[in-house]
């Protein structure tokens, strides 16, 4: 019989309940869910009971010590990504950590180093990489249909989409707002399609114009009196290969669309939008647009968890890795630092391998 991956969850919140556990279970005999850890005992017990998971803990250190675990999903608030991931890697577990990687660049570097030292997989919850549009465009890019991609635009904008649950508006626990929550998804998607170039300089601006007052909430009512994050962030990123990205992201902004997530790429042989998928080229003295007539439909999280499980069982490389996590964390923290100081920030740091 094929080895079953013994999986545990750290953090019994919404992402664990809605995305991780159900999609682990879709892997069938490949996976055995063995434990849930959460600092709130009742939350761990409730989640475990719902999915018939045998063990619950209030301490992930106790869980790693007392239960045999092969892989773990880190589904905590961002502040706890680093300690939970380090404990899991040091306990000999493969790790799928929700985005963003960490709170600081130093934490992301130590996480990547720990994965290299232990020989365990460290990957992140960038589920948009598994979108059929992204996978299709990646094939076109790999076959040089866009040529040298030298510019991109990243958009992750909501008109009134401040989350009314969890700790999304708590800077101490999350590290930031839309940039680190939804902007990070489209930023990672752009970087992935561009081959994850090494960042060089960032210039950022953040705003807190709508979140600290009452207003219409399309994602529930938020605690506007204790709103400590940005409600909008903008930025420009340049890379050591000469490429650049423009970024706009917001939980709340006075724009037309209620929710827009997109990446636009410009190369010297073609350009593209990802959502919806469309390619722009010049061929045979004609400007043409290319759109697919069919793309397969499967849940992004379902593919993410399925591929993580297969990578753990087969010893193959995951779709995202610790080095990319370090580059992404440098950009995020650089943009926040730039916004705070009001000046461009040169990104320095060692390369993590």
pLDDT in tens, 102-113: 999 999 999 999
Looking at CATH, the fold of the domain delimited by 5-126+302-318 is given as Rossmann fold (3.40.50)
What pLDDT, on the 0 to 100 scale, is given for residue 242?
A: 98
Average pLDDT over residues 42-61: 98
Compute CA distances 203 → 20, 200, 248, 289, whole Å: 35, 11, 12, 33
Q: Residue 222: pLDDT band by 50, 70, 90 thresholds?
A: very high
Scan for tokens 């664990």, then name that residue. Answer: 16
Sequence-distant (6+) residues with CB within 8 A of 130 are 300, 301, 303, 304, 307, 319
Rounded to the nearest integer, the mean pLDDT of the chain is 96
Coil vs helix vs strand at 228? coil
Residue 3 confidence (pLDDT) above 90 = no
Q: Exposure string (b/e) for 172-185, b if CB count within 10 Å is 16 or more? A: ebbbbbbbbbbbbb
What pLDDT, on the 0 to 100 scale, is given for residue 338?
A: 97
Span(s) in the chain for CATH 3.30.360.10: 129-297+329-346
Average pLDDT over residues 173-183: 97
Cis peptide bond prior to 103, omega within 30° of 0: no
pTM of the model: 0.95
Residue 17 confidence (pLDDT) above 60 = yes
Architecture of domain 129-297+329-346: 2-Layer Sandwich (3.30)
What pLDDT, on the 0 to 100 scale, is given for residue 353?
A: 33
The DSSP element (H or E) to which 326 belongs, if any, is: helix 322-341
What pLDDT, on the 0 to 100 scale, is given for residue 350?
A: 44
Rg over CA atoms, the chain: 20
Report residue 168 as tokens: 């999304």
Average pLDDT over residues 177-195: 98
pLDDT in tens, 130-171: 999 999 999 999 999 999 999 999 999 999 999 999 999 999
Scan for tokens 């279970």, then name that residue. Answer: 25
What pLDDT, on the 0 to 100 scale, is given for residue 56?
A: 98
What pLDDT, on the 0 to 100 scale, is given for residue 1?
A: 40
Contact 57, 80 (CB under 8 A): no
Residue 196 confidence (pLDDT) above 80 = yes
Residue 330 confidence (pLDDT) above 90 = yes
The sign of the CA dihedral 73, 218, 300, 48 is positive
Span(s) in the chain for CATH 3.40.50.720: 5-126+302-318
């Amino acid at each position: 019989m094929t080895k079953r991956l013994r999986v545990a969850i750290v953090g019994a919140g919404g992402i664990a309940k809605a995305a991780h556990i159900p999609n682990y279970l879709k892997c069938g005999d490949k996976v055995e869910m063995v434990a849930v850890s959460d600092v709130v005992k009742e939350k761990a017990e409730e989640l475990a009971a719902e999915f018939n998971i045998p063990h619950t803990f209030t301490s992930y250190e106790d869980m790693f010590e007392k239960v045999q675990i092969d892989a773990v999903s880190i589904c905590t608030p961002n502040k706890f990504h680093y300690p939970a991931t380090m404990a899991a890697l040091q306990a000999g577990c493969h790790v799928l950590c929700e985005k963003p990687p960490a709170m600081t660049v130093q934490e992301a570097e130590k996480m990547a180093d720990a994965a290299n030292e232990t020989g365990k997989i460290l990957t992140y919850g960038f589920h948009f990489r598994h979108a059929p549009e992204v996978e299709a465009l990646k094939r076109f890019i790999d076959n040089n249909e866009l040529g040298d991609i030298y510019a991109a635009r990243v958009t992750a904008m909501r008109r009134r989409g401040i989350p009314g649950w969890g700790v999304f508006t708590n800077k101490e626990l999350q590290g930031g707002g839309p940039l680190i929550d939804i902007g990070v998804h489209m930023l990672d998607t752009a970087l992935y399609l561009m081959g994850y170039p090494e960042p060089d300089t960032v210039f950022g601006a953040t705003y807190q114009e709508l979140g600290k007052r009452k207003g219409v909430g399309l994602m529930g009512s938020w605690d506007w009196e204790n709103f400590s994050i940005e409600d909008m962030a903008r930025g420009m990123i340049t890379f050591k290969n000469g490429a650049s990205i423009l970024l706009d992201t917001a939980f709340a902004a006075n724009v037309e669309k209620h929710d827009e997530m997109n990446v636009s790429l410009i190369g010297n042989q073609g350009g593209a939008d990802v959502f919806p998928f469309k390619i722009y080229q010049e061929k045979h003295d004609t400007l043409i647009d290319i759109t697919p007539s069919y793309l397969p439909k499967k849940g992004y999280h379902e593919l993410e968890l399925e591929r993580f499980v297969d990578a753990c069982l087969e010893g193959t490389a995951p779709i995202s890795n610790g080095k990319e996590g370090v580059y992404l964390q440098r950009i995020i923290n650089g943009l926040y630092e730039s916004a705070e100081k009001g000046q461009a920030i040169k990104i320095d740091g060692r390369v993590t391998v």
